[in-house]
Amino acid sequence: MKAVYTELHRSHDPQFFLVRGIVKRTTEQPERADRLLAGLKAGKHRLVEPTSFGQGPRARIHSPEYLAFLAEAWDAWSALGDAGPEMIANVHPVRHTATYPTHIVGRLGWHTADTGCPIGPGTFAAACAATDVATTAAQLVMDGEDAVYALCRPPGHHAFRDVAGGFCFLNNSAIAAAHLRLKHERVAILDVDVHHGNGTQGIFYERPDVFTVSIHADPAAYYPYVWGYAHERGAGPGLGANLNIPLSIGTGDDGYMQAMDAARRAIEAFAPTALVVALGLDASEHDPLRGLAVTTPGFRRIGQALARIGLPTVLVQEGGYLSDILGANLTSVLAGFEEAR
């Protein structure tokens, strides 16, 4: 399996992370990619440089106001003269009959759902590079590759059409799915990150052409808390095209595989002709944000289950944070996929 990757992700190096009132350094660090690269090397995957697709793929998913904000944000923040070393909002309007702000502090709050996505001088460039990685992987699959892995950083599945959150700025998985839609009438996205893919759900919630499925830790006790419940099934034309499978905190391999079986049956019923996997590795028993307890052999089983869905597949890297086992878990899931193919 080919793997798309660029070093441009390194320009995003966030420091701030607020956890239950405690400021820590974020777990979304450039070193994540180094550990994932080690996992790719162990699996003997060939690295491919991404193609630059410009703004087009991003504009299919994200609003013009949001893209303009991300492009202009750092310069406007720096011009304040008394601002901190990273952009972190101190106001989050919840859109109750509000006017779109013109001041950078107001725009920052408008376009961020939480404090988990600090913006630095290289954030937008890295996020754009990640969308090129995802789009290149989708294009390779459209051109005939059976499956391609996209090492995207920063991740994307918490990003809505016009809101960043949870380490995510641009929704790489959604962008890959929209690119696949240029060829495929129906596409499925299966999110196996420990956190619910709330941004992806929100983007496609009223669309009948993209089936979104998320297997994740119970949002009643885990981020993002206010999305990811089983009763959220889509709306309007998209009613029935969203499936959430929340799992009890601490669920291990066998319980996870039961959820995978349910996801596979639902995807088969939708009858798409291409699949995007939002590949979170943070369901690991060793992940620092641990909510589930999947083992390294369990990730091999997940890879096998993904392969058995039997569709052309783009695997987009989402979560999976700094642990000694991160690279091994990537090697395991991709090996399982290749074995079952």
Domains of the chain, first to last: 2-12+26-50+130-340 (3.40.800.20)
Model confidence pLDDT, tens digit, residues 165-192: 999 999 999 999 999 999 999 999 999 9
pLDDT recorded at residue 148: 98
- Which residues, given as ranges, of the chain have pLDDT below 70? none
Tell me which residues are annotated as active site.
158
Q: What is the 3-state secondary structure (H, E, C) of the chain?
A: CEEECCHHHHHCCCCEEEECCEEEECCCCCHHHHHHHHHHHHCCCEEECCCCCCCHHHHCCCCHHHHHHHHHHHHHHHCCCCCCCCECCCCCCCCCCCCCCCCHHHHHHHCECCCCCCECCCHHHHHHHHHHHHHHHHHHHHCCCCEEEECCCCCCCCCCCCCEECCECCCHHHHHHHHHCCCCCCEEEEECCCCCCHHHHHHHCCCCCEEEEEEEECCCCCCCCCCCCCCCCCCHHHCCCEEEEEECCCCCHHHHHHHHHHHHHHHHHHCCCEEEEEECCCCECCCCCCCCCECHHHHHHHHHHHHHCCCCEEEEECCCCCCCCHHHHHHHHHHHHHHHC
pTM for this entry:
0.98
pLDDT recorded at residue 292: 98
pLDDT recorded at residue 258: 98
